[in-house]
Structure 1
Amino acid sequence: MKPSRTPKKQQSRIRLLDEETINRIAAGEVVERPASVVKELAENAIDAGAKQIRIEIRTDPGGISRIRVTDDGSGMDAAEARLAFTRHATSKITSWEDLSRVASMGFRGEALASIAAVSRVTLVTKPADDAVIAGTRLVIDGGEIVSEEAAGTPAGTSITVEDLFAATPARKKFLKRKATELAHIYTAVERCALAHPRTAFLLVQDGAEKIRTYGRGGLFGVISALYGTGIARSLVPVNGTTPYMRIEGYVGRPDLNRQNAQMIVLSVNERQITSNVLLRAIRAGFGTLLPKNRYPVVFLALNIDTALVDVNVHPAKKEIRLSREDEIVRDLAAAIRTSLGDKELIARGTPAPGGSAAPAPAAGVAESHSAYRIDPRHERMPQQPLHAAFGQTDTRLRLTEHGAAGAAAKVPGSLTVLGQIDTAYIVVVRKDDAGEAILLIDQHAAHERVLYEQVLAKRERETTAQELIVPVILTLRSKEAEIVRGARHALMTEGFLVEEFGGDSFAVRTVPVILGRQVAPDLVRDCVADIAMETRVSAENVRERITTVIACRGAIKAGTPLSAEQMQKLVDQLVRSKNPWTCPHGRPTMVIFGRNELDGMFRRT
């Protein structure tokens, strides 16, 4: 009989990681790149009550070689300094309940431990206490304290980080070139300064000053220091208060838009964040003032009840989660809309360099500020021969002339039409208390804005549809037909009664009143075809899409000759619109050339 064998014990495939590995994994979540170090150390300084923060960067051909952040905050004694580099040691919270009301930048106690795990850190600190004579100097290498001694130092804290990612070569390998990493550092410092305008920031790279803010002048002062007075002068203040939120900051005029969201800077309770929810609110606030796929310039500081904000979402604390999200979106959008609604938002022509006035004329030479004046008693334009297109244009303008009747003009001053350029732009002279200026008005964009607002107004107060004398038959491709079938209800609410007519054909029996009773079949086809071209039609945006298409297709086109009377009528309708500044797509309806712009173009500065 063979002796029985004892089964060999299988080695467990699941095991606990050692402390060093845990620390380096955790560090990878918090410290992505050198800019992460700058951000975390600057925020620690802010939490310590610093009024001045100095950031020094040293570089070598290989990249960022040293980061030093020095502050005049509360500092630490020797015991606190040692404990600060222990993971999850923090002065910000004491229990999980505190997370629901955390107001500090940091709260997890991870930043210093994570930085020390992947670099060599030198800490010099002294508490702001007259009874403490000497400070403390610690050297931490790879997460281990290798040196501790007393040091003479002013109150506050200085942290120097060297050999970043030396212990994690895989992370170091994926760093970008030096210029890119420096750009991320500049951005991090700018965002910190904008979120904390009462703190002075100084960024020095290789001995050269790169960024300086002064801790005074509020958010506007920081914006001016970082981006210059050119952008600062184009900003509109935004202020609002609700029972749970206070809104303060600035948004750029619509013509200051950008191709990406880099210039949308948000802070919530002084924490710099990114938020798709708040971005949606900002875009809703601008509405049709912005072109599609363009982004505004925004600097907003929101103070929201901390019970409504969950900051414990992202490893680097870049994102937040909001309760009462719908109300916050609605109120933020309303605050932006209200602020922009009070301002004249005509796009400026080419600005004069430096914005300075023209030089004084030479001695003995008199120069009038208005060498040529238009006498309204005289004929402003030569008589024009009757044009075949005038009749159709008259019909379109009559359909829109009552919508804004009696409304106050949003564009101040007297407006005198001079003529038309290339049957596309109307030339107007505006005279007001500031002097005279030339307005160039895009006739299609202008009438499109007028139509858009009247379609919205008619939707709310009266029947939107009228029956066509002869139905228009549309034959579409299968994909377009399915989109139209899905949008039939929304089309009906806007005045289009679209019925199946066999296969992928449809009969359009009614159209919006604003298009007129004898609308051309091609116009109906264009409207419905444009709607069918939208590949993602959702219940949320289909009505807006239809309204925009009606306005675009029903408006006077570029290339349409206008009589003097028609141009004046269109200008009058535009300036009495609620938003005469842009078409529904966000393109400007008019551009202004004042004295400064004209002097700059003629180099008379």
Structure 2
Amino acid sequence: MPSKIQTLPDEVIDLIAAGEVIDSLAAVVRELVENALDAGATRIAIALDLESWQVQVSDNGRGMSLEDLRICIQPHSTSKIRTCQDLWHITSLGFRGEALHSIVQVADLTICSRTKAGLEPVGWKVSYQEGKAIEESAIAIASGTIVTVSNLFARIPVRRRGLPSLPRQLKAIQKLIHQIALCHPQTTWQIKQNNNSWFNISPGTTARDILPQFLRNVNSSDFEYVKREIATPSDDDVVASTIELIIGLPDRCHRHRADWVKVSVNNRLVRSPELEQTILNSMAKTLPRDRYPICFLHLHTCPSQIDWNRHPAKTEIYLHSLPYWQAEVDKAISIALKLNNHHLPDGVGDRRIGKILKVAESSGKYQIDRDLAGDLAQKPLPTFQNNPLKLKAVAQVSKTYIVAEHSSGVWLVEQHIAHERILYEQLQDCWDLVALSTPITLEYLRPKQVEQLQNLEIDIELFGDNIWAVRTAPKALAQRNDCAAALIELSWGGDLRSAQVATACRSAIRNGTVLDLLQMQNLLDLWLATRNPRTCPHGRPIYLSLEESSLSRFFRRHWVIGKSHGI
């Protein structure tokens, strides 16, 4: 009986492999751009002609010789690895040698290239069809490579019909280029569509300079950049690694979706649910409800700590020592959210206060507290150090805002939500439940409310008909006259974190409370020591900055007053 199992023909194998690597226009762009970056390109131009299904990628990289051009489309032909051991030391974006071979199975391919070293007096142009080189010719070309892919999927019309609409494909390509540009901020990008300029990306020092080019209504000053050198544990020893973090400050920018929480490892964007969740957890209770952070996390580590050979598109990896990385990322976010003198919010103060200054200038009404001015004239101002940030309480406005002076301006700090942030973090660190001297009785609780209080480990038991006795309560609430009302509020809450927020909010000093200078100073000092001082647990900004640069511009201190004014 003849065998039913047969070896597939080479052309069938090639089409199957090509379908796994090249499944869209965006996949073609991805593979060609990664080859350009691996070749050391600092300028990349992409031209798309969607009607003719053509993609062209030009770069100023090292280029290829004629011998390289002849072999580059062969299956698993690559210059990036040689042995099995190389798989554990991947430093390039591509390494499998599948891209060009897969492309030539589903499209016509032309490559023009000249080596950057100038070893050859001319460049070479090679055209390929159906996996074979059909024409070679010498051409005049600058060092670098131009790859043209045309008639994509012409031989597989069912593939074309199964692709999303062209607008959706364009959106996917734009998203892909944005993601790659974040990982390679020193690269210049020029993208054309149907011979018209589509968008450009200017180079920068870090991804902090790149993000504002993608996102509307944000500036580079809205992001904090943290770079940390760490020692990552490995089987044999420790390896030097680096964490780069660019995070949107919670009092300035955030999103409706978690679509800009990005993780990159060794210059490639990857999907890492564990690290992404670490970022979201670290930013919890710093943003408004149903809002998510903007964050780009870039890990640089020894290739031996990464296994790239997990996904055909290399978008998923195995990262060694994942719990260690999660802990270090949490530390980096804590550093980024601290207030310091190195990155004072000059721009934010200008934007927030700009309209107020314009109204004040047009009305011409300025009011000065003469007693406060005299007091400041009699007392020398303290000397501020560059780090950590120092604030000096100087006044209270409307029994609500603390006027705080620092080395380069003045801040208004909302006393209630600043205190709320302090209490919330204290409750996080120590959720103390204490016995009540007299049990509190609550009536007509629903089963879900009773269950919620029990989940918070509050001692509650049925005391009578629709009456429950509560014998313990959070320490912050136990001595308050409204403890019963606070417990009712907690019974409607969610998890422990939500209960801590509710407790902090109810326990914080109220607006309208008069504070003396010592109380205000103590509040400021405690607030500056919190882990996330920029927003309250509900996501509201705690302070408004009015920087010296804003004051100087408003009062026209740059004007030169001449002798004609009698000066």
Runs of 4+ residues deviating >6 angstroms: 344-347, 352-359, 408-411, 500-505, 593-601
- Residue matched to 1:179: 167
Is structure 2 residue 496 aligned with structure 1 residue 524?
A: no
Match of 2:41 among 41, 46, 50: 50
- Residue matched to 1:140: 128
- Residue matched to 1:333: 330
What TM-score does the superposition give when structure 1 sets the normalisation length? 0.74
Is structure 2 residue 509 aligned with structure 1 residue 512?
A: no
Spell out the pairing of 1:540-579 with structure 2 (5 A cutoff). 543-555=496-508, 562-565=512-515, 573=523, 576-577=526-527, 578=530, 579=532
How has the CA–CA distance of structure 1 residues 504 and 126 changed in structure 2, closer, same or farther, with 3 Å as cutoff?
Answer: farther
How has the CA–CA distance of structure 1 residues 68 and 574 changed in structure 2, closer, same or farther, with 3 Å as cutoff?
Answer: same
Shift of 1:147: 3.3
Spell out the pairing of 1:350-499 with structure 2 (5 A cutoff). 351=351, 371-376=366-371, 412-419=391-398, 426-427=400-401, 429-430=403-404, 432=406, 434-435=408-409, 439=412, 441=414, 443=416, 445-459=417-431, 464-473=433-442, 477-478=446-447, 487=455, 491-492=456-457, 496-499=458-461
- Residue matched to 1:301: 298
Unaligned runs of 5+ in 1: 1-8, 379-407, 421-425, 535-541
Match of 2:188 among 197, 200, 210: 200
- Measure the CA separation in 1 of the matches of 2:265 and 2:46: 24
- Measure the CA separation in 2 of the matches of 1:192 and 1:529: 45
SS in 1 for 2:492: helix
Shift of 1:170: 3.2
User: Is 1:419–1:428's contact at 8 Å kept on the other side of the alignment?
Assistant: no
- Residue matched to 2:53: 65
How has the CA–CA distance of structure 1 residues 320 and 353 changed in structure 2, closer, same or farther, with 3 Å as cutoff?
Answer: farther
- Measure the CA separation in 1 of the matches of 2:216 and 2:174: 16
- Residue matched to 1:27: 18
SS in 2 for 1:564: coil
User: Is 1:67–1:161's contact at 8 Å kept on the other side of the alignment?
Assistant: yes
- Residue matched to 2:62: 74
- Measure the CA separation in 2 of the matches of 1:40 and 1:354: 47
User: Is 2:339–2:534's contact at 8 Å kept on the other side of the alignment?
Assistant: no
- Measure the CA separation in 1 of the matches of 2:348 and 2:204: 30
- Measure the CA separation in 1 of the matches of 2:214 and 2:71: 36
- Residue matched to 2:81: 93
- Residue matched to 1:252: 248
- Measure the CA separation in 1 of the matches of 2:392 and 2:168: 49
How has the CA–CA distance of structure 1 residues 418 and 205 changed in structure 2, closer, same or farther, with 3 Å as cutoff?
Answer: same
- Residue matched to 1:163: 151
What TM-score does the superposition give when structure 2 sets the normalisation length? 0.79
Aligned pair count? 524
Query: C-alpha offsets along residues 192-244 of structure 1, whole Å, 9 cap, x if unaligned?
Result: 22212333332233334444445563444444655589421212120111113
SS in 2 for 1:113: helix
Code of the aligned partner of 1:336: I
Shift of 1:325: 0.4
User: CA RMSD, aligned part only?
Assistant: 4.1
Is structure 2 residue 311 aligned with structure 1 residue 314?
A: yes
Code of the aligned partner of 2:398: G
Shift of 1:69: 0.7
How has the CA–CA distance of structure 1 residues 456 and 194 changed in structure 2, closer, same or farther, with 3 Å as cutoff?
Answer: closer
Shift of 1:458: 4.5
Shift of 1:349: 7.6
How has the CA–CA distance of structure 1 residues 104 and 506 changed in structure 2, closer, same or farther, with 3 Å as cutoff?
Answer: farther
- Measure the CA separation in 1 of the matches of 2:83 and 2:466: 64
| Matched-pair identity in % | 28
How has the CA–CA distance of structure 1 residues 208 and 331 changed in structure 2, closer, same or farther, with 3 Å as cutoff?
Answer: same
Code of the aligned partner of 1:23: D
User: Is 1:257–1:297's contact at 8 Å kept on the other side of the alignment?
Assistant: yes
SS in 1 for 2:48: strand
Unaligned runs of 5+ in 2: 233-240, 374-386, 555-567
How has the CA–CA distance of structure 1 residues 563 and 67 changed in structure 2, closer, same or farther, with 3 Å as cutoff?
Answer: same
User: Is 1:125–1:157's contact at 8 Å kept on the other side of the alignment?
Assistant: yes
SS in 2 for 1:547: helix
- Measure the CA separation in 2 of the matches of 1:414 and 1:251: 29
User: Is 1:474–1:508's contact at 8 Å kept on the other side of the alignment?
Assistant: no
User: Is 2:112–2:125's contact at 8 Å kept on the other side of the alignment?
Assistant: yes
Is structure 2 residue 31 aligned with structure 1 residue 36?
A: no
User: Is 2:337–2:534's contact at 8 Å kept on the other side of the alignment?
Assistant: no
- Which has the larger displacement, 157-166 or 202-211? 202-211
Code of the aligned partner of 1:416: A
SS in 2 for 1:176: coil
User: Is 2:72–2:78's contact at 8 Å kept on the other side of the alignment?
Assistant: yes
